[in-house]
């Protein structure tokens, strides 16, 4: 597995700040008027134990001040903020994050007050999906599903070129059930796709299957599970096959409902390339009959897709700026 290295080209436009608040780290970047990611930093995300999100907002304000001090000639005109969990894009509210610990925080308005510029606010996977749609290989299609497979699994839906979020509830394909009554999922359900087909699940299921065997197995990730499968490890082969079967099955259900012209697969697991795409496509197609078959494309924007999506959304808030796509 190797990470895609295509440089991101946002193109000319207003200079903006972009913040990607993750469960572990927060990534912040300054995009200049040429579209370059001029300065990028990564810091640990503070826990928000009081549920207000204040710790996160204070950290973002400090990062913004740092960028302004370090680049005094850059005219920052807007900011983009993306967060995990349940996000109400329309109202600018972080509804819930179990990992970081907030509930019903009006992030968009609070951050705009702190920074003194307009703020674009959305869910991390929808932002990454928008970046892939705007700058990756699916731009020629109007009906597109972008699926990010990493620690978890989530999707971003574009219908007629417009993102569809349903007040934050759309796109949660990681929690569609493929094995009723099966393995426990972090959401409280059982047999969800995310509990079987995510990179996190592949690693976890392999370690569980190892029992009290080789202690080195405790550190094994999805990449190593694939390597062992390819080397003939039957246990690894079974877990990899069950994962790709589950992903293919859920994608077929998405095809039945949405009939996307293209499905983009991104996130850490997509870096497995044909070892993921080939069995997933075969499995998906095995369920399709009269349906329109989508093309499966790899994500190309790479690890910066989140901040790039946040920056694209922020730029759209600046008056008289044409966006290459709806965000």
201/158 Cα distance (integer angstroms): 27
Ranges within 31-70 binding Zn ion (CB under 5 A): none
Spatial CA neighbour of 96 closest among 169, 146, 46, 164: 169
Q: Which residues pair with 76 in a beta bridge?
A: 15
Q: How many residues make contact with Zn ion (CB under 5 A)?
A: 5
Q: Give the C-alpha distances (Å, rounded to integers) separating 206 from 202, 212, 236, 237.
A: 6, 12, 7, 10
x/- map, 122-161, Zn ion, by CB under 5 A = ----------------------------------------
E strand intervals along the chain: 15-21, 25-31, 37-44, 76-83, 86-88, 93-97, 102-105, 119-123, 144-149, 153-159, 162-164, 262-266, 295-298
**What's the closest the beta carbon of residue 208 comes to Zn ion, in angstroms?**
17
**What's the closest the beta carbon of residue 16 comes to Zn ion, in angstroms?**
34
Indicate the residue among 195 and 311 with the shorter CB distance to Zn ion: 195
Instruction: Give the tokens for residue 297.
Output: 């494309």
Indicate the residue among 151 and 300 with the shorter CB distance to Zn ion: 151
Ranges within 155-214 binding Zn ion (CB under 5 A): 175, 185, 187, 189, 192
Indicate the residue among 185 and 296 with the shorter CB distance to Zn ion: 185
Indicate the residue among 33 and 187 with the shorter CB distance to Zn ion: 187
Q: Which residues pair with 120 in a beta bridge?
A: 80
**What's the closest the beta carbon of residue 240 comes to Zn ion, in angstroms?**
20
Residue 17 interacts with Zn ion (CB under 5 A): yes or no: no
DSSP designation for 229: H
**What's the closest the beta carbon of residue 191 comes to Zn ion, in angstroms?**
8
Indicate the residue among 106 and 182 with the shorter CB distance to Zn ion: 182
Indicate the residue among 192 and 299 with the shorter CB distance to Zn ion: 192
159/127 Cα distance (integer angstroms): 15
**What's the closest the beta carbon of residue 197 comes to Zn ion, in angstroms?**
11
The helix/strand/coil state of 175 is: helix
Query: Where do contacts with Zn ion occur on this chain (CB under 5 A)?
Result: 175, 185, 187, 189, 192
């Amino acid at each position: 597995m190797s990470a895609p290295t295509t440089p991101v080209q946002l193109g000319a436009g207003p200079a903006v700040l972009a913040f990607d608040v993750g469960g572990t780290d927060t990534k912040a970047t300054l995009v200049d008027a040429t579209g370059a990611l001029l300065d990028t930093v990564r810091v640990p995300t503070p826990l928000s134990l009081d549920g207000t999100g204040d710790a996160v907002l204070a950290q973002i304000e400090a990062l913004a001040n740092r960028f302004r001090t370090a680049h005094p000639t850059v005219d920052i005109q807007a900011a983009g903020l993306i967060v995990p969990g349940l996000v109400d894009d329309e109202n600018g509210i972080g509804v819930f994050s179990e990992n970081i610990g907030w509930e019903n925080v009006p992030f968009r308005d609070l951050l705009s007050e702190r920074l003194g510029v307009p703020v674009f606010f959305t869910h991390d996977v929808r932002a990454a999906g928008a970046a892939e749609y705007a700058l990756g290989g699916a731009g020629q299609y109007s009906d597109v599903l972008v699926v990010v497979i990493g620690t978890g699994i989530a999707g971003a839906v574009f219908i007629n070129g417009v993102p569809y979020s349903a007040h934050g509830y759309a796109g949660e394909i990681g929690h569609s059930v493929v094995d009723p009554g099966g393995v426990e999922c972090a959401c409280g359900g059982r047999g969800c796709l995310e509990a079987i087909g995510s990179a996190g699940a592949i690693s976890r299921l392999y370690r569980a299957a190892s029992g009290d065997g080789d202690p080195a197995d405790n550190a094994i990730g999805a990449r190593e599970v694939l390597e062992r499968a390819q080397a003939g490890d039957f246990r690894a082969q079974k877990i990899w096959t069950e994962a790709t079967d589950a992903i293919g099955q859920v994608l077929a259900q998405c095809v039945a409902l949405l009939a996307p012209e293209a499905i983009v697969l991104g996130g850490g697991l997509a870096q497995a390339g044909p070892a993921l795409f080939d069995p997933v496509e075969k499995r998906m197609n095995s369920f399709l009959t009269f349906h329109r078959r989508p093309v499966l494309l790899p994500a190309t924007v790479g690890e910066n897709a989140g901040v790039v999506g946040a920056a694209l959304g922020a730029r759209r808030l600046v008056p008289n700026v044409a966006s290459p796509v709806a965000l």
